[in-house]
Amino acid sequence: MNRPATTTGMRDIDIARTKLTGALAETWTTPSGFWGALATVDHKIIGRRYIFTAFVFLALGGVLAALMRIQLAQPEARLLGPDRYNQIFTMHGANMMFLFAVPVMEAVAVYLVPLMVGTRNIAFPRLNAFSYWIYLAGGMLLWTAFALDMGPDVGWFAYVPLSGPQYGAGKRADIWAQMITFTELSALAVAVELVVTIFKQRAPGMTLDRIPVFVWAMLVTSFLVIMAMPAIMIASTSLILDRLVGTHFYNPAEGGDVLLWQHLFWFFGHPEVYIIFLPAAGMVSTMIEPFARRPAFGYLGLVMALIATGILSFGLWVHHMFVAGLPRLGDSFFTASSMAIAIPAGIQIFCWIATLWDGRPVFKTPLLFIIGFIVTFVIGGLTGVMVASVPFDTQVHDTYFVVAHFHYVLIGGAVFPLLGTIHYWFPKLTGRMMSETLGRWSFWLIFIGFNATFFPMHILGLEGMPRRIYTYQPDLPWHGLNLFISLSAVILIAGFLLFFVNVIRSARSGEVAPDNPWDAPTLEWATTSPPPSYNFAMIPVVGSLHPLWSERDTLPVADGLRTDRRELIVTTLATAEPQARDASPQNSIWPLWAAIATTIMLIWSIFSPWAVVWGSIPVAVALIGWFWPKGTPEDES
Amino acid sequence: MAGVLLALATALAGCQREERQLRLDPPIADALDKIALMPNRISGAPPDVYFVLGKPYEVNAYNLSQGKRLYAWFGCKSCHGDGQGGSGPGFLDGWWYYGPEMVSIFASIRDGRPHGMPAFGDRMTTDQIWQLAGYVQTIGSYEGKTAAPSRNDEKQTRPAENRAPAKLLFDEGPSPVHPDQGPTP
Amino acid sequence: MLATPLAGCGGNWQSALDVYGTSAISLKHLIILIVAVCSAVWMLVMAALIAALWRGRDARPAPAEPGRERRLTIAVIGAVVATVLIISTFTIMSFIATRALTVAGQDDLTIRVRGLQWWWGLEYVGPDPSSRFETANEIHIPVGRNVRLKLEGVDVIHSVWVPSLAGKQDLVPGRPNELTIRAEHAGVYRGQCAEFCGMQHAHMALLVIAETQDDFDQWAAAQRQAAARPPDEETAAGLQTFLAKPCAACHTIRGTAAAGTSGPDLTHVGSRRTIAAGLFETTRGSLAAWIADPQTIKPGNNMPMVPLTPDELRAVSAYLASLK
């Protein structure tokens, strides 16, 4: 790199290689202890926390699912009353979408993207810390409310007027709406960080066509987040305004519109599905390479499919409203656009199959999950094509057919790849391998249990069973299948339990992992397992899409970064040519204070509009503290 | 963190406020009917069970919102309007003939009052009368009550119950609610 | 636990696959066609996947042959083109299927359907005001005729769905919708609210009874009548209780002083097959059970538990059961 004459400070080329890692560790490592943990801005620590928290929410959501299945196993069961059941299914949906699926994908990206693009920390690391605390607070708000019998009971979609001021008694719907604000805030923060990291912090030489597909997927996802989340934040904020101060956004008598809510919600809600699915597709494209032992077929096609899906996802929200009474011609347009999304999905499926076709598959657990993903996701995609058809949808909308469809898409399409991802990147996260035997067992249990649980729901839906019912009468012919589903869910739960056991056991006593156990081609495997706090002693220079395959032992590196302060390389957007050395902020406790202040303001604002006025003062104080120059070397321009 | 603390703080009230008691055991309903009134039938004491239950009809959001439905269903609007009054007295002016106590409101609904207020004791159950009484009390409230219901999905004529509708009277608006009411207390 | 099986029309009586209505029949054809094509597609994809995995089992490094990448590209493009063709066909098919659904005109029998928490209010709208009448939770229609349902959401959004007759349509407050149903065969078809509407969304059923024109006319004529006088002493006492107790404040029985409107019209409740929005078959016993403790049977619904003595309960249930 060019070395400007005026710079000062200790550079990595000035010290011996052996001393380099020590110096970097001193600069980058998070101090141990309680305050160190609270103040850390290390993307790996935050990413691990994020992933862990998201899986805790997955387990909690699973408990809710189990309760629902016990309730529905027999007709007119009295285990749960309608009030609790409505809270439970709402919590299950809201929890799984807002506290598990979206955050876990972003969490994996927070951990992996900086490693995969070869940089030392994510962009805006303090914002990253803030985002985690806000996410945690939102999750705790929701679950605390549920524990106190004031959990939302209006569905994860919270349609007005049921969730509105007149019919949603108490603060239940407000808690749902404010939980949205928390999770969207954290998601938006991560999205901004990821976009900047991917655009400006890629290792020198990582041109646009050398970016790993997972990173591309996260880039597209981040843009989806940035464009979709404002719609739901507007929607949920105006819902709270309607409920708290009596505005009339959704009141037809005063010129509001009930369907406005549905438009706003689904304008966010449909891209939401792709916010969950695209990272998963990216994971598959990336993981398939070491297990097919060849580059993913059709890199350009895969990336273009991701982008096309992202764009199309904004044009099909109305298919959630096919029976709301919108004009038929408009509906047909949305049929066409909903069907069209099958094309990019198809391109990806065919590319993956072509990759396996031409490769020499290694049947390890991650590949099993990829295969399970393809098998189930194709079903979910095809049922998606079915419900995209207006006349078809009038019979299956709001029935268990749709429940089956979106579980196939979300579990088949996102959780399977995610579980594969955990198995695949576990050695990088922890330095230990996961047990292959337990992994296989959990895969087969989950795969069989999942299909046995959710496939019959298609039939139940066609047989007329609506969604969101807390029970059904014995004279309806649904109890046999419902009992079967509930029993199958036991297998599915066993599979997940085994997965958790595997994770815990392997984290403690798994086989120690080498740096690159899978012989994978991407940059995160170029560093140790787990990576040091500074990620890479020297920033790698990338010459191809698969740097670790093409330059296995001789990965070139860039030098010239300072070691006595946190520095990373900023590169150009398209060609990733080094542009500047930039400081990466020190640890700070202020993001936590800012998150606490924001939490107080947001929760208080459920109860009084004045919270926005008075509550913003501590937020402002926290932000001033956050940005106040602290005199660290990183503050030098 | 702070979320938990704050949530816990509101929780203590919240627990009580959000629980939905859908079925009132008949003995409790009977007991709730036995209010003690002063001889002039104004003011008095609710039965002990009312306090044992934690004043559910004043603090519980579900009961208050059910009360709002009953207000519409039992035709209260035809005389009292949305609280502004009509052929019957309004509730927004803070000048209530029989005072703002729950027992007085309960007695007014159950037994009726002179000059046109019919008795609803044979048209509503005890539970319903209490729910309605709790709701009526919030209409005349000068202070917003968080548990109170919010606006209706209809034309707005006054601030919603959780926005202290009775305060309207003391704000200088284009036309006072009760022009003949005299100086504000 | 509480409901006794109702005598349905044999087989499944709330199913999109067991169809007796004109539009449900054509929807079923579409459903079967699309499902069949999709199943075939899934099997092809699975065959390709299995072949791909099978091929690479042997760990020999594949010889680098020229043109392999190109052949793969052609295969993938071919598959994508097939996808495009299939979904285009589906789009056109569903457009045509939507247009082909019959739509009732102004002159057809019109029923105003109001969705309420958690029951269905029905009003038969005739050409002149005298032919109007109200009922609840049970729609009678003549076989082979288009019937227009005018859908009004009163409180929250509901969705009317009788899968054996037609697809569903939402009842949205502030936004009237319409749905046309037409039964090809006489029978009893069950429907249920399909849009989550709160506490008792699960128990918000309605029956559609398709019968011959004569039977329908006879039924409609009977429904237009006011309630019959109580035939005996017990039912007379029942009427007295009904009027003296809170019952009459919410329910209407035409021909008596009971004129409440916040609950279902009970003028001919004894003639309806079910009570409590499809929860039980109408019998004296089920009526008594329902009145005695509605909040245990259907928790959260808007009917309060009215304290009645055993004699009063017996009398009221006898009276209501007599309202044929």
| A contact residues 334-363, partner C, Cβ 8 Å cutoff | 335-336, 339-340, 342-343, 346-347, 349-351, 353-354, 356-361
CA atoms within 13 A on the CB side of A612: 9
Mutate to test the interface with C, among A376, A394, A396 (most CBs of C within 10 A): A394
Is residue B22 in a domain?
no
Instruction: Report the number of distinct structural domains present in chain B.
Output: 1
Determine the pLDDT at residue A389. 92
Is residue B158 in a domain?
yes
Instruction: Respond yes or no on whether the N-terminal peptide bond of residue A425 is cis (omega within 30° of 0).
Output: no
Q: How far is A259 from chain C (nearest CA, A)?
A: 8
Is residue B84 in a domain?
yes
Determine the pLDDT at residue A85. 95
User: Would you say how long chain B is, in residues?
Assistant: 185
Determine the pLDDT at residue A269. 93
- The beta-carbon contacts of A310-313 under 8 Å, at least 24 apart in sequence, are A310/A220, A310/A221, A310/A223, A310/A224, A310/A271, A310/A274, A310/A278, A312/A337, A312/A340, A312/A341, A312/A344, A313/A224, A313/A270, A313/A271, A313/A273, A313/A274, A313/A341
- A237 versus B140: which is more confidently predicted? A237
The CATH number linked to B44 is 1.10.760.10
At residue B30, does pLDDT exceed 80?
A: yes
Determine the pLDDT at residue B88. 87
Q: A455: exposed, middle or buried (C-beta count within 10 Å: 0-12, 13-18, 19+)?
A: middle
Is residue B56 in a domain?
yes
At residue B177, does pLDDT exceed 60?
A: no
Is residue B40 in a domain?
yes
Q: In chain C, what are the domains?
A: 12-56+102-210 (2.60.40.420), 233-322 (2.60.40.420)
Determine the pLDDT at residue C12. 59
At residue B183, does pLDDT exceed 60?
A: no
On whether the CB atoms of residues C198 and C156 are closer than 8 A, the answer is yes
What is the pTM for the complete model shown? 0.94
Pairing of strands C274-275, B36-37: unpaired
Write out residues in chain C with pLDDT < 70, as ranges.
1-12, 58-65
> Which ipTM value was assigned to this complex?
0.93
| Contact status of A241 with chain B (Cβ, < 8 Å) | no
Q: In chain A, what are the domains?
A: 43-533 (1.20.210.10)
| Contact status of A324 with chain C (Cβ, < 8 Å) | yes
Is residue B183 in a domain?
no
Q: Please give the distance of CA C167 from its chain centroid, rounded to a whole number.
A: 9
Determine the pLDDT at residue C10. 45
- In angstroms, what CA-CA distances link C16 with A283, A395, C167? 38, 6, 8
Determine the pLDDT at residue B100. 86
Mutate to test the interface with A, among C41, C50, C58, C95 (most CBs of A within 10 A): C95
Backbone angles phi, psi at A546, to 5 degrees: -125, 70
C24-58 burial, b for 16+ CB within 10 Å, e for fewer? bebbbebbeebbebbeebbeebeebbeebbeebee
Q: A514: exposed, middle or buried (C-beta count within 10 Å: 0-12, 13-18, 19+)?
A: middle
At residue B169, does pLDDT exceed 70?
A: no
Residues of C in contact with B26 (CB under 8 A): 305, 307
Q: Which residues contact A492 (CB under 8 A, 6 or more apart)?
A: A445, A446, A449, A450, A452, A453
Is residue B10 in a domain?
no
Write out residues in chain A with pLDDT < 50, as ranges.
1-6
3-state secondary structure A278-306: HHHHHHHHHHHHHHHCCCCCCHHHHHHHH
On whether the CB atoms of residues A154 and C152 are closer than 8 A, the answer is no
- Report the residue from A252, A388, A462 with minimal CB separation from C17: A462
Number of A–B residue contacts, CB under 8 Å: 114
Query: Closest Cα partner for C197 from C120, C267, C131?
Result: C120
- Answer yes or no: do A137 and B163 touch at CB < 8 A: no
On whether the CB atoms of residues C99 and C82 are closer than 8 A, the answer is no
- Answer yes or no: do A347 and C84 touch at CB < 8 A: no
Backbone angles phi, psi at C136, to 5 degrees: -150, 145
Range of the domain at B92: 29-172
Determine the pLDDT at residue B13. 55
- Answer yes or no: do A398 and C75 touch at CB < 8 A: no
Is residue B106 in a domain?
yes
| Contact status of A332 with chain B (Cβ, < 8 Å) | no
- Report the residue from B1, B17, B163 with minimal CB separation from A137: B1
Directed axis angle between helix A365-388 and helix A400-407, to 10°?
A: 140
Nearest CA in chain A to B156: A254
- Give SS3 for C220: helix
Residues of C in contact with B30 (CB under 8 A): 307
C-alpha–C-alpha distance, residues C161 and C21, integer Å: 12
